[in-house]
Amino acid sequence: MDAIDARIIRALQRDGRLTNLELAEEVGLSPSPCLRRVRNLEAAGVIQGYTALVDQKACGYPITCLVRIRLANHSQENVQAFEKKIAETEAILDCYLMTGGADYELRIVARSLDDYEQLVRHTIQKLPGIASIETSFAYGVVKKSRILPVRVEKGA
């Protein structure tokens, strides 16, 4: 990954639908090698995909919650059942294994407080071995970036 690859990644994070001609112009290459670099980055897994960014509110999900969860015990069954349910539940967008007071932190979206309550009661609390659930609601968004500040790297 050299400086041109880094510029390609930056540009495609800023606008994932740039045409190859626009991209080539922006990174200072002719279209042909530019496209080849993009395909290489995709094949290498550096670029994992492309997605449309949508307005949560306009799509009916005005509520974002960050939820910290502790498990009573980390038996294989409990962990597997928990992570399987996470994967299946579309309203749970992210789930990280965390250091510190909680085992997991989830980012969850909901259509309403009632909707969120249903999710907690019917999906999360029913899982075996949940020790605690601590919810914080986001009442404002200061920043929401999906652009990793890529610079030149050695290796890969």
What is the H or E stretch that residue 104 is in? strand 104-110
Q: How many Cα atoms are found within 13 Å in the side-chain-facing hemisphere of 123?
A: 18
How far does Cα 125 stand from its chain's mean position? 24
146 binds a copy of itself (CB under 8 A): yes
52 binds a copy of itself (CB under 8 A): yes
Q: What residues form DSSP beta bridges with 104?
A: 69, 97
- State the Rg of the chain over Cα: 20
Among 1, 37, 47, 95, contact with DNA (rule: CB under 7 A): 37
Residue 105: both structure tokens together = 């932190």
134 binds, among a copy of itself, DNA, none (CB under 5 to 8 A by kind): a copy of itself
Name which of 10 and 25 has its Cβ closer to a copy of itself. Answer: 10
21 binds DNA (CB under 7 A): yes
Distance of alpha carbon 8 from alpha carbon 35, whole angstroms: 10
Q: How many residues bind a copy of itself (CB under 8 A)?
A: 66
CB of 92: closest distance to a copy of itself in angstroms?
7
29 binds DNA (CB under 7 A): yes
Which residues of this protein are in contact with DNA, per CB under 7 A?
Answer: 4, 19-22, 29-33, 35-37
